[in-house]
Amino acid sequence: MKLVDILEPGRIVHRLTATTKSAALRELVQRGVVPPEANTELGVADEEQIVRVLEERERLGSTGIKDGLAIPHGKLERLDQIVACLGLAPQGIDFGALDGQPSRIFIVLLAPESAGGLHLKALARISRVFSDSSLHKRLLDAPDVDTVWSTITTEDQRY
């Protein structure tokens, strides 16, 4: 599974304005998952449920991993395929990451209820591609969505 299979330019939030974990989750859903340009099978009517699923997962333990990366994720009955959204917050947001550092790169991963194995493969792929801290800097320094997408597609091909 490649990142470009689950992510597309319409699901990139170039600059998050949120300053809290809760606001970041809501903004990622509003700007990167449910609008028409996100090209998902989800819509504005699904917003509250998606935010609730992500917040419930966060209550189990932060999805803020390390090195400024957070991977909020959850499963939705209504989905037929795995969907990812990428958000960038150069200012950093306290996401309760394991290393105590603010999160700057967010990848929301939503999967169908029945996609246990694929969900884990997607998480593993994200972890692999984003293990390179130089990628983080290039994404955070990118001036626009097109540059972010180009950087992601190039990096995705390396693995």
Contact in structure between 28 and 56 (CB atoms under 8 Å) = no
Burial of 151 per CB tally in 10 Å (0-12, 13-18, 19+): middle
Whole-number pLDDT of residue 119:
86
Whole-number pLDDT of residue 141:
97
Intervals of the chain under pLDDT 50: none
DSSP track, 50-108 = HHHHHHHHHHHS--B-STTEE--EEEETT-SS-EEEEEEEEEEE----TTSPPEEEEEE
What's the CATH superfamily of 3-158? Answer: Mannitol-specific EII; Chain A (3.40.930.10)
Q: How many residues does the chain have?
A: 159
The per-residue pLDDT for range 66-79, each reduced to its tens digit, is 899 999 999 998 88
Query: Is 73 considered catalytic here?
Result: yes
Whole-number pLDDT of residue 100:
94
Whole-number pLDDT of residue 1:
87
Catalytic residue among 14, 73, 119, 136: 73
Whole-number pLDDT of residue 114:
85
Q: Parse the chain into domains and list their residue ranges.
A: 3-158
